[in-house]
Amino acid sequence: MKNMIINIANSIKNIFNKRNTRYGTASILIVILILGCFWFVSKILSNFNLQYDVTANKQYSLSPQTVKILKDLKEELRITAIVKKNMGFDRYMGELLKDMAKQNSKIKVKILDLDYDKAAASAYKVNDYNITVVEMGDKRKDIFEKDVVSTYDRNREFKGEQAIVNAILSVSEAKKKVIYFTEGHRERELEDVQNVSGFGFLKQLLVNDNYEVKSLNLMKEGKIPEDCTVLVVGGPQFSFGNKEVDMVSTFLDKGGKAIMLFDPFVATGFETLLGNWNLKLDNDFVVDPKSYLNMVVVKDPGAPIPEWQNHIITEPFIKNRIPVFFPASRSISDTGRQGTRAYSKDKLMTTSDASWGETNLQSLKVQPGPKEDDKDVKPPLSLGWAVTEYIKDKKDSKIEDTESSKQMKFVIIGDSDFATNAPAGIGGMQGNLDLFVNSVNWLIDEGSKISIRPKTIDVRSLQSLTGTQWTIMFIMTIVVAPLIVVGGGILVFLKRRKK
C-alpha cells in the first residue's frame, strides 16, 4: 500500500515536471486571473451606471428636453408599464423607463406582466397588454401601445419617449382643462356606457387623458362658463335657440374652442353662424359604395370610410393608415363666397368619387335603397373641417395672423355616431375615438407640448442584407476566418519544428 501511494505521488510529480503540463497549468491560471480581473472591474463599473448608446439612431438615448423635464420634477412620479413579457414592447419600454428613473429619484418605475402579476395589474383597472400608466398625486394618464409604436409603418417607430413626456406634462399641470358637452337638445348621453348610442366610452377616454368632463345646459346656465376649454355640441336632434347660438358665437369671438357634430337631416340652428366661415350643412345622407365599412357582420355603404386630407389632426391616421368610419353622416360644403374675416379652414376627410349625398330621406327606408340622381349632392364630399380664425383686438384695428395672435378654433364633423360606444366596441376601430381626442388636442395645442423625434426600431436581420453584403459575409466567415485559423496553426507547427 505504501509503495502504491509513493508510485502515485511520483507519477503526479512527473506529470507536473513535464514542460507541456507546466505551460498548460500556467495558461489556465492566467485565464482565471484575467476573468477574475474582468469580473472585479465590471462589479465596480456597475455601480456607476455607465452606458454608451452605439445604435445608429441613438435608440436608447433620452433627448435633452426630456432630461431637463425629468430633472425638474418636484413631486413623486409613478410610471407603471403593464406588459406581456418577451414580446418586444416590454424590452423597449423597460429600457426607456429605467433611463428615465436614473434622472430623478422621485421617479418610481414598475413593470408588471399582466399574465403573472394579475393582482397588482388589476389595481390599475386595465384589461389589455402594453398600457403604461403615468401618475402624479391623484392625476393619471394612460398611454396605449398604439400611441407608442407605429405598427403599420414599414419601419416601425417607437414614440415612447414623446408619449410619456407629454403624459408627465399633462399630470403635472396645476389645473385640469374642462370640456363641456351641451345638453337639452337630445344630444348623445355623456354618462351612457350601456347603449351603443352613448358617449360613455368617449368620456372615459377623455377622463383618462386628464380632462375634466362636464355637461352644460345653455338655457339653464345662461352663459358658457369661464373655465370652458372646449365646448362640444354632440349630435343634437333638434335645433338650438337663437339665444343659445348667440352664446356660442360670443364664446368663439373671444377665442373659444369648439367641436360640433351634426347628424343628417337635422336643423341645428347653427346654419347662419357657420355661414360666417362659408360653411354649409348639406341636407343629405352620405352614401359611398366604393369605400365603406365592409365587415363580416356589417356591410353598409351608408357608413363611409373617407380619405384623409393633410392636417395636424389627421397626420397620425395618414402615417399609420388608420381607418375611421362614419355610421350616418352628412356632407359639409364650402360655399365659395369671399368673406372679410381673417380665417383659414382645412378639409379633414373626403369621400370617394363614387359617393353622393342622398337628399331623399324616404329612399333610405325602402328597398333596394338609395340611387343617385340629379337632386343629390355630387362628390367628392367633405365630412369634416378644421377652422382657425385670428381674433382682432378691440384696441387694434389690424389683424395679424401670427402664431402669437389669439385664435378661435373649431372642428365640425357631419356625424356624431362615429364617437359613440358602437364604433368603440368594434375591433380595430379605436381610431374613431382617437379622431375626437386628436381634435381636442389640436384645439388646445396639447399636441405641441413637446415634440421629440420618434426612434426607428432598427431590427437588422439577415433577410435585409443586399447581395454584395451577403457575398462579403460569406467570404469573411466561410473562407477568410478558417484560413486565418489554419494559417496560424501551420506557422506554429513550423516554428516548433525548427526548435
Q: Which of residues 40 and 411 earns the better pLDDT score?
A: 411
* pLDDT at residue 425 in the model: 57
In a domain, 456, yes or no: no
71 torsion bin: left (phi>0), alpha (psi -120 to 50), beta (else): alpha
Q: Packing angle between helix 19-46 and helix 2-17, nearest 10 degrees? A: 70
In a domain, 122, yes or no: yes
* CB distance 219 to 170 below 8 Å: no
Same domain assignment for residues 11 and 72? no
Residues 203-220, mean pLDDT to the nearest whole number: 89
* pLDDT at residue 126 in the model: 82
* pLDDT at residue 59 in the model: 55
**Full residue range of the structural domain in which residue 379 is found:** 177-448
- Picking from 123, 154, 171, the residue at the C-terminal end of a domain is 171
Q: ω into residue 264 within 30 of 0, thus cis? A: no
Same domain assignment for residues 382 and 260? yes
In a domain, 56, yes or no: no
For residue 368, give the amino acid letter: P
Same domain assignment for residues 68 and 208? no
Same domain assignment for residues 166 and 193? no
What is the rounded CA–CA span in Å between residue 110 and residue 100?
Answer: 12
Same domain assignment for residues 277 and 339? yes
In a domain, 57, yes or no: no
Same domain assignment for residues 352 and 294? yes
* Chain segment 297-350, per-residue pLDDT in tens: 456 788 899 999 999 999 888 887 888 989 899 999 999 887 667 899 999 999
| CATH number for position 364 | 3.40.50
The closest of 233, 116, 126 to 186, measured between CA atoms, is 233
DSSP label at residue 463: G
Which SS3 state, helix, strand or coil, does residue 413 take?
Answer: strand
The closest of 215, 210, 251 to 408, measured between CA atoms, is 251
Residues 42-70, mean pLDDT to the nearest whole number: 66
* Chain segment 262-310, per-residue pLDDT in tens: 999 999 999 999 999 999 999 999 999 888 776 544 567 888 999 999 9
DSSP label at residue 204: H
Query: Global pTM?
Result: 0.68
In a domain, 58, yes or no: no
In a domain, 294, yes or no: yes
* Chain segment 131-167, per-residue pLDDT in tens: 999 999 988 888 888 778 765 445 567 788 888 988 8
What is the rounded CA–CA span in Å between residue 146 and residue 141?
Answer: 15
Neighbours of 178 (CB within 10 A): 17
What is the rounded CA–CA span in Å between residue 281 and residue 271?
Answer: 7
- Picking from 171, 191, 209, the residue at the C-terminal end of a domain is 171
Q: ω into residue 370 within 30 of 0, thus cis? A: no
* pLDDT at residue 363 in the model: 74
* pLDDT at residue 402 in the model: 47
For residue 305, give the amino acid letter: I
Same domain assignment for residues 85 and 125? yes
DSSP bridge partners of 134: 79, 141
* pLDDT at residue 454 in the model: 55
What is the residue-averaged pLDDT of the chain? 81
Same domain assignment for residues 120 and 232? no
Helix, strand, coil % over all residues of the chain, rounded to 5: 35, 20, 40
Same domain assignment for residues 144 and 286? no
What is the rounded CA–CA span in Å between residue 467 and residue 474?
Answer: 11
- Picking from 171, 197, 217, the residue at the C-terminal end of a domain is 171
The total of structural domains in the chain comes to 4
Same domain assignment for residues 282 and 238? yes
* Chain segment 102-141, per-residue pLDDT in tens: 999 999 999 998 888 888 888 888 878 889 999 999 888 8
| CATH number for position 159 | 3.40.30.10
Same domain assignment for residues 71 and 166? yes
Same domain assignment for residues 366 and 488? no
